[in-house]
A and B are shown apart, each in its own frame.
Chain A
Amino acid sequence: MPCPRLIAATAVASGLLLLVGNANAFDQSRYPDWTGAWRRIPVPGVAGQPGYDQTKRLGPAQQAPLTPEAEAVMKTSMEDQAKGGQGNYPTYICLSPGMPRIMTPYGAMEFVITPDTTHVFIEHVHDSRRIYTDGRDWPKDLKLTLQGYSIGKWLDTDSDGRFDTL
């Protein structure tokens, strides 16, 4: 019965060829399809500029759990804005809002997924990000930025063989 062995060997060889053939492939089907332009969804009944919690209006309605010191900073800022000033709002001079505000997002957002990095391109001031997914650790020396330094990990939470959560 030599033939069953031959058949098995052929199947194994075919599998190996398949493996070798795709050794350098970036299998996009393992990642979620996030292509396209993404915009925030306005919440019905929440008027005005979007807040950090998009289900609530800006300002005190956000009910931010601030320390007393930060609460005072916000109060001063809002009083200044009520008088026509800009408060502690750096974006009006074209500084990036930085994280976490850049993920509001204020402009269209594009996700560019590669195995090592997911780029988040946002057409607004200076808001794009790199999320490193190559398994790196936090670097020892780092120049600080408004966007911060992001490390990510893809998860297959429903075990269907595809990543679904970053």
Chain B
Amino acid sequence: MRHQGTIARIMLTAALCAFSAGAQAFDDAQYPDLRGQWTRVDGPGSAGGEPSFDPSKPPGRGQQAPLTPEYQAIFEANLREQEAGVPGIWPGRTCLPPGLPAQMAAYRPLEFVVLPDVTYVRVDYVRETRRRIFTDGRAWPEEVEDGFDGYSIGKWKDEDGDGKYDVLEVETRHFKGPRNFDLSGIPLHEDNETVIKERIFLDKADRNILHDEMTVMDHALTRPWTVMKTYRRSADARPQWEEYLCVWESKTVRIGDETYLLDKEGFLRPTKTGQAPPSVQYFPATK
């Protein structure tokens, strides 16, 4: 039986070699496969139009946003302006990024890049966005530069105990504005103290379906607002990623704090009654 010791040593050496070789290896198998191109699944309320914050409900007032009376009044005023043909307060029309939570509506396809320390979410809409969700165990930094995407810290969880991660829990803070919930202009509070919690996970029955359960806490709301966003993976293993160049697609012009419409003939038009024109003092006088 003297060879048992030799065999044990070989096994131990192999194990140590495995540990050494794998010390810097990123075991993809431990994480869900989120590769590919993800497109939003429109809910029954979207009616094929632009997506709303809650995909399960109709846009605008149909969202039944739990707004405070003050912010409901702001929203109603914005809706009345839109009904009168004014572009509304959606920041994307003047090429400001939508930020969170709106960007997770997936106005354009999403890409997830999962690495041990960071999960990146790429979205090319208005502004080409690289959302970073830090999963390296960091605490909230004492000083953070506020951003439209905020600052996201995530944690992978193995909820079904099979030894593999299945849920990415994310909390996002440190925002700047202006931001809205969606294109209809449902407002977030101007203090930008929004806190957003998300649970991102693959559908157990269909691994080409991804869910993002999102809860927004904001001082414009009377209670946390939770919705479920769903995305479908493209069957194309090598999809094209189209470029979104806002300045080519935008039909509005922002000058200072004012927004003007640019019509087909190239003329600036007012976006609200009584709006003053931009100054032309540096242009030669024209008849």
Residues of A with Cβ closer than 8 Å to B?
3, 6-7, 10-11, 14-15, 17-18, 21-29, 93-96, 110, 112, 114, 116-117, 119, 121, 126-128, 130, 132, 134, 136, 139, 142-143, 145-147
Contacts and interface: CB of A to CB of B under 8 A. Distances in A.
A126 B127 contact: yes
Contacts of A110: 130
B240 interface: yes
Contacts of B28: 24-26
B268 to A, nearest CB: 16
B113 A112 contact: yes
B19 to A, nearest CB: 10
A95 to B, nearest CB: 6
Q: Max chain B CB contacts within 10 Å: which of A95, A110, A114, A146?
A: A114
B285 interface: no
10 contacts: A10-B10, A11-B14, A18-B18, A28-B24, A29-B24, A95-B245, A95-B247, A112-B113, A134-B238, A142-B240
A22 B25 CA distance: 8
9 shortest A-B CB distances, which residue pairs? A14-B14, A29-B24, A24-B29, A3-B3, A145-B243, A25-B25, A26-B26, A27-B25, A121-B130
Contacts of B243: 126, 143, 145-147
Contacts of B3: 3, 6-7
B107 interface: no
A138 to B, nearest CB: 11
**A interface, over-half SS:** mixed
A157 B266 CA distance: 55
B228 interface: no
A129 to B, nearest CB: 10
Given A94-B246, A112-B113, A139-B238, A7 B25 contact: no
Given A7-B7, A119-B113, A145-B243, A25 B27 contact: yes
B47 interface: no
Contacts of A17: 14, 18
Given A7-B7, A93-B247, A114-B115, A25 B22 contact: yes
